[in-house]
């Protein structure tokens, strides 16, 4: 992902020369039964079949779509079937295909041409009805992955490469849709929501309302307020549990075929390469990230490059865009020690802390790590944690100004972040979750507020007086919806999130007697609001990607708020959970006459333009 727009070439990887195309000679395959395209299910004893993917995950969505396409060709696949490619289809082979459709994952789906038996080919960066040349990859369940080599016949109604603003597009795994108009992106994302309710819930069409058009992001580039590029340590310096790891073969070293392990090894700091396994693509700039993050990325890259010889394991950088509420002052850390005074282990720990790097063990570097003196290091007075911002000579034009507020790039996971959303200021640790597209948060929260009004006042009923904000985090929905409710309770299982939410009340001078933020266990999360009148209560739930577990949904159904607004970053698990709520209440005898929930609206929100990801908001009322 980066800065320069590509030319009007019909292929997103036009700068990469295509290898000489292998000659493909196809002979009819022996088949049994009447079909000339019967599925070839050759068995290999050595092939170990992995466990089924988690429900609603990227791999699960792809599984469902592959099985659906194969079923349309007359081939029914269970998970244990279809792991071997048809005879004659080999890895590395080049073949021309016509794209059938676009998957909800953003990849294209094609079928092998005759005389091959039915077999799906999944290729990134290709559009429906395009004629493409691909290189076949490893087979998986009912399909083979492929690398796009050339778009032979582009779909000019969809593809326009002049829209692309990133020099890495077509290689980086981050974006899929930069060649599309934004209206087309929003339409594709509406289809993702529709397909999720069609295939990941068992609800009849009669109870699913027409999915409304996707609400777009005010910013389509320079919107992302957090990125986490990563890098590998030099192969001959890597350790595991304090012991040296045998370097990988040269041809597998960081994806650099033919490079030596010592002097010729190439440091790459960036994101995963699409279809490249664990290969890291070196990224100097990301056009979907904010300007100040790209300034911080340059500094963080230089820090790692200058200290890479001290790393014994790969690591992940953290860069977040934060509002400056007090102008940070540069000062020399009196505890800082010169690099030459540190041991190799201390030098690595200091570099990790300096660049805001994950410690590689599932945690973060603690504040006791030795610190390198750095004239450009700035500390935020309230937090006392190191963050790297650009030197004054560079930041004068790079710092974003929003309503006269300055922004800095925070790189330490222990630093306190600040984000402005509408009239409110939110504070939270840099390591904590907060939505990564600030520009769309006001439209999103306004929509939730209006949806509750439309589901009640719009139907001639009283607006709820109480709000339950489950999975409340640092209080985004609680604060943004506060003008519409008399009492608000935010619940989360994270004590740190609750502490941030309480602090945000003080930060915005909001009345404490109107809000209650408290932790709740997953098994008894609604007990703290049992005194709320259910007929006058709205519940907003915003769970992680895995969705809600059954005990939570059981408690929600027992609590019976008047309105449920389900905000989801994974519409597939949302569809499953809504299905559970409606099916369970039906089994328990609930009907329209005695307070059964019904879905009144479903709508997508685009929090990540240029990608295939879509958020979804479902509104239920009884």
Give the pLDDT of residue 524: 80
CA 588 to chain centre: 37
Span 334-362, pLDDT tens digits:
344 444 444 444 444 444 444 444 333 33
Domain 193-219+437-621 fold is Rossmann fold (3.40.50)
Alpha-carbon span 353 to 411, nearest angstrom: 9
Give the pLDDT of residue 242: 65
Span 222-252, pLDDT tens digits:
999 999 999 999 988 877 766 666 665 544 4
321 is in an annotated binding site: no
| Boundaries of every domain in the chain | 1-177, 193-219+437-621, 226-232+268-429
Span 171-194, pLDDT tens digits:
999 999 999 999 999 999 999 999
542 is in an annotated binding site: yes
558 is in an annotated binding site: no
Asked if 106 contacts 138 with a C-beta cutoff of 8 angstroms, the reply is no
What percentage of residues in the chain have a pLDDT greater than 90?
69
Active site includes 172? Answer: no
Pairwise pLDDT comparison (356 vs 91), residue with the higher score: 91
> Cis peptide leading into 389, omega within 30 of 0?
no
Where are the extended beta strands (E) located within 375-478?
A: 377-379, 386-388, 401-402, 405-410, 416-421, 424-429, 466-470
471 is in an annotated binding site: yes
Residue 512 has pLDDT above 60, yes or no: yes
Neighbours of 524 (CB within 10 A): 10
Residue 136 has pLDDT above 60, yes or no: yes
Give the pLDDT of residue 45: 53
Span 525-537, pLDDT tens digits:
888 899 999 999 9
Residue 373 has pLDDT above 60, yes or no: no
Backbone angles phi, psi at 516, to 5 degrees: -135, 120
Q: Which of 24-38, 145-159, 164-178 has the lowest mean pLDDT?
A: 24-38
Please report how many Cα atoms fall inside a 13 Å half-sphere around the Cα of residue 506, on the Cβ side. Answer: 8
Asked if 425 contacts 508 with a C-beta cutoff of 8 angstroms, the reply is yes
Q: Do domains 1-177 and 193-219+437-621 have the same CATH topology?
A: no
With residue 187 as reference, give the H or E element that holds it. Answer: helix 182-199
Q: Which of 360, 352, 369, 355 minimizes the C-alpha distance to 301?
A: 355
Report the chain's C-alpha Rg in angstroms. 26
Query: 3-state SS string over 477-519?
Result: HHHHCHHHCCEEEEEECCHHHHHHHHHHHHHCCCCHHHEEEEE
Q: Which of 116-125, 292-301, 382-391 has the lowest mean pLDDT?
A: 382-391
Give the pLDDT of residue 527: 86
Alpha-carbon span 55 to 617, nearest angstrom: 19
Q: How far is CA 444 from CA 515, 546, 573, 614, in A?
A: 21, 21, 20, 13
Asked if 221 contacts 165 with a C-beta cutoff of 8 angstroms, the reply is yes
Domain 1-177 fold is OB fold (Dihydrolipoamide Acetyltransferase, E2P) (2.40.50)
Alpha-carbon span 262 to 295, nearest angstrom: 30
Paired residues of 322 in beta bridges: 408
Alpha-carbon span 94 to 110, nearest angstrom: 14
Span 375-398, pLDDT tens digits:
222 222 233 222 333 332 233 234
With residue 131 as reference, give the H or E element that holds it. Answer: strand 131-140
Give ∠ CA 165-103-277 in degrees, rounded to 5: 70
């Amino acid at each position: 992902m980066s800065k320069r727009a590509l030319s009007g070439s019909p292929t997103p990887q036009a700068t990469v020369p295509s290898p000489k195309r292998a000659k493909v000679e196809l002979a009819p395959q022996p088949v049994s039964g009447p079909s000339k395209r019967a599925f070839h299910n050759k068995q290999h004893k050595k092939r170990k079949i992995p466990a089924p993917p988690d429900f609603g995950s990227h791999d699960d969505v792809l599984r469902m779509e592959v099985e659906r396409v194969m079923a349309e060709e007359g081939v029914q696949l269970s998970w244990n079937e279809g792991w071997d490619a048809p005879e004659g289809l080999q890895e590395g082979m080049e073949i021309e295909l016509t794209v059938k459709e676009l998957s909800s994952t953003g990849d294209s789906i094609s079928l092998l041409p005759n005389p091959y038996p039915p077999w799906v080919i999944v290729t990134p960066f290709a559009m429906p009805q395009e004629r493409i040349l691909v290189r076949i990859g490893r087979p998986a369940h009912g399909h083979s992955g492929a690398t796009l080599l050339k778009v032979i016949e582009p779909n000019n109604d969809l593809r326009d490469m002049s829209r692309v603003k990133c020099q890495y597009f077509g290689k980086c795994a981050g974006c899929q849709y930069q060649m599309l108009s934004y209206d087309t992106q929003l339409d594709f994302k509406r289809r993702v929501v529709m397909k999720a309710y069609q295939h990941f819930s068992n609800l009849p069409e009669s109870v699913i309302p027409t999915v409304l058009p996707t609400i777009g992001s005010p910013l389509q580039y320079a919107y992302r307020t957090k990125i986490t590029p990563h890098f590998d340590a030099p192969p001959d310096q890597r350790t595991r549990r304090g012991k040296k790891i045998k370097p990988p073969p040269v041809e597998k070293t960081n994806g650099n075929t033919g490079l030596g392990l010592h002097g010729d090894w190439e440091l790459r700091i960036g994101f995963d390469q699409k279809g490249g396994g664990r290969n890291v693509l070196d990224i100097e700039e990301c056009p979907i990230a904010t300007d100040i993050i790209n300034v911080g990325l340059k500094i963080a890259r230089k820090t790692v490059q200058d200290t890479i010889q001290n790393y014994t394991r790969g690591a992940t950088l953290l860069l977040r865009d934060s509002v400056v509420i007090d102008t940070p002052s540069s000062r020399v850390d009196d505890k800082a020690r010169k690099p030459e005074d540190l041991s190799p282990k201390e030098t690595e720990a200091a570099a990790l802390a300096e660049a805001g790097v994950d410690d590689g063990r599932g945690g973060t570097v603690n504040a006791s790590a030795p610190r390198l003196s750095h004239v450009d290091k700035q500390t935020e007075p309230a937090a006392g944690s190191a963050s790297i911002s650009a030197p004054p000579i560079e930041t004068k034009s790079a710092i974003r100004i929003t309503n006269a507020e300055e922004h800095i790039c925070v790189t330490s996971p222990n630093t306190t972040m600040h984000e402005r959303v509408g009239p409110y200021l939110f504070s939270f640790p840099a390591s904590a979750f907060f939505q990564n597209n600030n520009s769309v948060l006001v439209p999103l929260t306004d929509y939730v507020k209006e949806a509750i009004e439309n589901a009640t006042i719009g139907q001639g009923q009283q607006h709820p007086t109480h709000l339950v904000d489950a999975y409340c985090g640092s209080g985004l929905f609680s604060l943004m919806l506060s003008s519409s409710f008399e009492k608000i309770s935010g619940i989360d299982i994270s004590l740190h999130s609750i502490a941030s939410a309480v602090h945000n009340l003080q930060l915005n001078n909001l009345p404490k007697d109107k809000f209650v933020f408290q932790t709740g266990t997953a098994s008894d999360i609604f007990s703290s609001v049992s005194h709320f009148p259910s007929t006058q209560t709205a519940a907003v739930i915003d769970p992680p990607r895995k969705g809600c577990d059954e005990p939570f949904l059981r408690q929600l159904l027992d609590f019976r708020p008047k309105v449920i607004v389900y905000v989801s970053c994974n519409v597939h698990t949302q569809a499953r959970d809504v299905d559970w709520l409606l099916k369970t209440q039906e089994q328990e005898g609930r009907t329209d006459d005695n307070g059964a929930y019904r879905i009144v609206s479903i709508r997508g929100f685009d929090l990540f333009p240029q990608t295939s990801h879509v958020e979804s908001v479902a509104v239920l009322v009884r």
